[in-house]
Structure 1
Amino acid sequence: MEQRLTLITLGVHDLSRSLKFYEQGLGWKRSAASQEGIAFFSLGGIVLSLYPRESLAEDAQVPAAGSGFSGITLAYNARDRAEVDAVLQLAENAGADIIKQAQDVFWGGYSGYFRDPDGHLFEVAHNPFWELNERGEVVLE
C-alpha cells in the first residue's frame, strides 16, 4: 500500500447548504466530475467530497447514528481491483476490522471499507472513471 490518501468524504446533513458554503462562501470550484447528490473539489492531488451523511453511512454499511460514525471517511484509490483486495487484506492483517468486503458498487467501481484501531473508516476503491497520476493522485477536471 502506497503511503497516500486520495479522497476525504464529509457526510453532510444538507448538501445544498454545504455547497453554498464551499462554493459561494469560500469561493471553491466544484469539479466537473461531480454528479447530482455528490460534489467533488480537487485539492491539489487529494479530492474533498461532500455526500449526504445517511448515504455515506449506508455505503460503508454502518449505522448513521448511535454507532460512533463520525460522518467522515478517508479513501485510498487503487489502480485496479486486485489492489483493492490486497490493501484490504493488508489492513486486516495489521489489525483493522473489515466493515464492508470489496464488491462492485452502484457508481461503477469496486470498493470495500475497513475500520482502523481508533474507529476511523477507510474506503479502498478502484474507480475506473478517475485517472491516477504516477504519484497515485486523482486527476479531476
Structure 2
Amino acid sequence: MSLEPRISMITLGVADVAAATTFYHRLGFRRSSASNDDVTFFHMKGTVLGLFGRDALAADADVEPTRPQSFEGVALAHNLSSRAEVDAAWAFAVDCGARPVKTPHEVFWGGYSGYFADPDGHLWELAHNPFMQLDGQGHMTLPD
C-alpha cells in the first residue's frame, strides 16, 4: 500500500473559532454550511481549510496542547501570477487584520514573496514564483 500524495484538508488550531472565522471571511474565504460554533470549514481550490479550537484539536489528536510560539515551523503558501498581485494581496490581508511579518520583496531564489500572520500567528506566504507556472485554476504545476 502507498499513501496518495494529496492534502484533503488543513486544520488550523485557533484560540477563538468565531474571531478566526471572521478574519478569514474578511479575506474572502467562503464558509461551508457544514460549519458550526466549534469548527469552521472554508471552501478552497482543491482542499478544505478548517478552523478548530487549539485545545480541542490537541485533544482530538491525543497530544498535549501547547501555547503558540513565535514560529511553529509551518507556513501556508498562496502563489500568484505576478509581483503586483503579491503586493495587492499582501496589502489586502493587512487591511483585513493580518499582522505584517515580511513585506513582499525579491528573494534569493529569484522569486518575489512576503509573509503575514493570521490572528493566531499562522504564517501565510504570498509569492510569485517565475519558475513554477499556475494552471487555469490557480494551482501550481511542477515539472516531472
TM-score, length basis structure 1: 0.54
Q: Which residue of 1 aligns with 2:121?
A: 119
What CA distance in whole angstroms lies between the structure 2 residues aligned with 1:91 and 1:83?
12
Structure 1 residue runs without a partner (length 5+): 1-25, 29-41, 47-65
Which amino acid counterpart does residue 122 of structure 1 have in structure 2?
A: W
Task: Give the C-alpha shift of residue 69 in structure 1.
Answer: 1.1
Task: Give the C-alpha shift of residue 118 in structure 1.
Answer: 1.1
How many residues of Structure 1 are paired with residues of Structure 2 in the alignment?
Answer: 85
Which amino acid counterpart does residue 92 of structure 1 have in structure 2?
A: V
Q: Which residue of 1 aligns with 2:76?
A: 74
Structure 2 residue runs without a partner (length 5+): 8-44, 47-67
3-state SS of 1:69 partner: coil
What CA distance in whole angstroms lies between the structure 2 residues aligned with 1:43 and 1:80?
26
1:140 alignment partner, one of 125, 134, 142: 142
1:94 alignment partner, one of 86, 93, 96: 96
Q: Which residue of 2 aligns with 1:108?
A: 110
Which amino acid counterpart does residue 96 of structure 2 have in structure 1?
A: A
Which amino acid counterpart does residue 136 of structure 2 have in structure 1?
A: E
Q: Which residue of 2 aligns with 1:5?
A: none
3-state SS of 1:82 partner: helix
Q: Deviations over 1:31-72 (max 9, x none)?
A: xxxxxxxxxxx74888xxxxxxxxxxxxxxxxxxx9431100
Which amino acid counterpart does residue 113 of structure 1 have in structure 2?
A: Y
What's the % identity of the aligned pairs?
Answer: 48
What CA distance in whole angstroms lies between the structure 2 residues aligned with 1:27 and 1:136?
25
> After the TM superposition, which residues 1-141 of structure 1 pair with which residues of structure 2 at under 5 Å, given as runs?
43=6, 67-141=69-143
What CA distance in whole angstroms lies between the structure 1 residues aligned with 2:138 and 2:103?
23
Larger radius of gyration: 2
